[in-house]
Amino acid sequence: MKHFYSPHNMGDMEDPDAEAVVGNPVCGDVMKMMLKIAKRTVKGKEEEFIEDVKFKTLGCGAAIATSSVVTDLVKGKSLSDAIKVKNTDVVEALGGIPKAKIHCSILAEEAIHDALSNYQKKKK
């Protein structure tokens, strides 16, 4: 409920490096993820990481909560670590969600993965 009443990282982002919009036509939930990507050097190797992440979600409380949690899970992570975040990680971070709302965690995973994929396409 905390992530529903006080979602983290909700809002717009000016000039995101990556974004994605995903939706579920059955329930009507729609999530937009926006990412700012930066570079840092770790052990002499340059890597890209998610410097900032924002979301906008139109949907139920579970859709908003899973959007909020997934932003917490990926913020500050390297792109190679962020792509490993799964819907099960979102559910676990929330302490569980009803089975009927699992599709919201899947949407959150898809939104992050699609934004990262779009970033890679944009770089090429």
- As a whole number of angstroms, the distance between CA 25 and CA 19 comes to 20
- Point out the catalytic residue in the list 35, 63, 104, 108: 104
Active site residue 27: yes
Which own/partner pairs from 82-91 qualify as long-range (CB within 8 Å, at least 24 positions apart)? Answer: 82/49, 82/50, 82/112, 82/116, 83/112, 83/113, 83/116, 85/109, 85/112, 90/66
Residue type, 6: S
Active site residue 104: yes
- Point out the catalytic residue in the list 10, 23, 24, 27: 27
Q: Catalytic residue numbers?
A: 27, 104
